[in-house]
Amino acid sequence: MDPNLKEITEHLMAQQLRNLERSELGRLDPIANKGDGCIIICYGPPGTGKTLTAEALAEKLQAPLWSLSVSELGTDPYKLELKLVSVLEIAALWKTVLLLDEADVYLEKRSTSDLQRNAMCGIFLRNLEYYRGVLLLTTNRIPSFDDAFRSRISVFLRYPPLTVDQREKIWTNLLGRAEVKEDIGAIRQLVKDMAVHDLNGREIRNAIRNAQTWSQAINEPLRCKHIVNATEVLAFALDTLTETESQS
């Protein structure tokens, strides 16, 4: 993330939480004022750090993080409204950083052919407008973003696909926790070799977990060979899946 944009986002979130702390309305009627919330959109491909950003910002601001998925809110319009009102009230009262992961279904452009989703979008938009706390929404598909939401968003955070340098940093960070029984030189070379595979953060973590599981199953300490093999197996499977999808 751009350092200046990150700093601005941190200040906006911190001030919003302070406003809730000082405001009597923040304690008595969390959704009383219109358009006073701090709404942040994190958009980009899966595994590029969107959820991690919410966790890091909440930790830095020393605020509780409440993470929800679309499945927890539901897709039935009536149940969605009941649940959403309750969640937003509690989040404002607790002065929490609220994270709604993979919120695409609520943010995509409405159409005349899907009345139920139109109703969900309308309910979400109406409640979003009155929310006074901090809300981060993650989405993978910003091009289909509904125009009605744009004016409600405080900050747009874009997460492009990972570069080789970024993948090297992720590999270095995760391998540092994995207790690989190799010398520093071997691990550094492993990082460079593995970073050429076009994997996102979650896929890199999965490859290391698979290597750990394999080494434990054969009763061996975790070594570079386990990580190389597990990564190549995963990368091959993902490439095959992508090729199959492109042909269908």
Please tell me the predicted confidence (pLDDT) of residue 35. Answer: 63
pLDDT digits (tens, 9 = 90+) for 61-86: 899 999 999 889 988 888 999 999 99
Q: Residue type at 140?
A: N
Q: Where are the domains of the chain?
A: 3-158, 164-241
Residue 126, pLDDT > 60, answer yes
Model pTM above 0.95: no
Q: How confident is the model at residue 167 (pLDDT cuts 50, 70, 90)?
A: very high
Range 82-103 average pLDDT: 92
pLDDT digits (tens, 9 = 90+) for 203-238: 999 999 999 999 999 999 999 999 999 999 999 998
The lowest-confidence range among 12-16, 111-115, 129-133 is 111-115
> 3-158, what's its fold?
Rossmann fold (3.40.50)
Residue 145: partners with Cβ closer than 8 Å, 6 or more residues away: 41, 43, 107, 108, 109, 139
| Torsions phi, psi for 205 (to 5 deg) | -60, -40
Residue carrying structure tokens 């979008």 = 121
Residue 19, pLDDT > 90, answer no
- d(C-alpha 79, C-alpha 57), whole Å: 30
Q: How confident is the model at residue 107 (pLDDT cuts 50, 70, 90)?
A: confident
- d(C-alpha 137, C-alpha 95), whole Å: 17
Cβ(54)–Cβ(97) below 8 Å: yes
Please tell me the predicted confidence (pLDDT) of residue 3. Answer: 73
- d(C-alpha 244, C-alpha 127), whole Å: 41
Please tell me the predicted confidence (pLDDT) of residue 24. Answer: 46
- Domain spanning 164-241 has what CATH number? 1.10.8
Residue 125, pLDDT > 80, answer yes
- d(C-alpha 153, C-alpha 136), whole Å: 10
Cβ(50)–Cβ(147) below 8 Å: no
Q: Residue type at 160?
A: P
Range 170-182 average pLDDT: 94
Residue carrying structure tokens 């969390």 = 30
Please tell me the predicted confidence (pLDDT) of residue 23. Answer: 61
Please tell me the predicted confidence (pLDDT) of residue 239. Answer: 84
Please tell me the predicted confidence (pLDDT) of residue 36. Answer: 75
Range 144-165 average pLDDT: 85
Residue 103, token pair as written in the block:
């919120």
Please tell me the predicted confidence (pLDDT) of residue 242. Answer: 74
| Torsions phi, psi for 134 (to 5 deg) | -110, 125
Residue 143, pLDDT > 70, answer no
Please tell me the predicted confidence (pLDDT) of residue 5. Answer: 77
Please tell me the predicted confidence (pLDDT) of residue 4. Answer: 75
Cβ(224)–Cβ(180) below 8 Å: yes
Range 6-15 average pLDDT: 83
- d(C-alpha 102, C-alpha 85), whole Å: 19
| Average pLDDT for the chain | 87
| Torsions phi, psi for 34 (to 5 deg) | -90, 130
Residue 34, pLDDT > 80, answer no
Please tell me the predicted confidence (pLDDT) of residue 164. Answer: 96
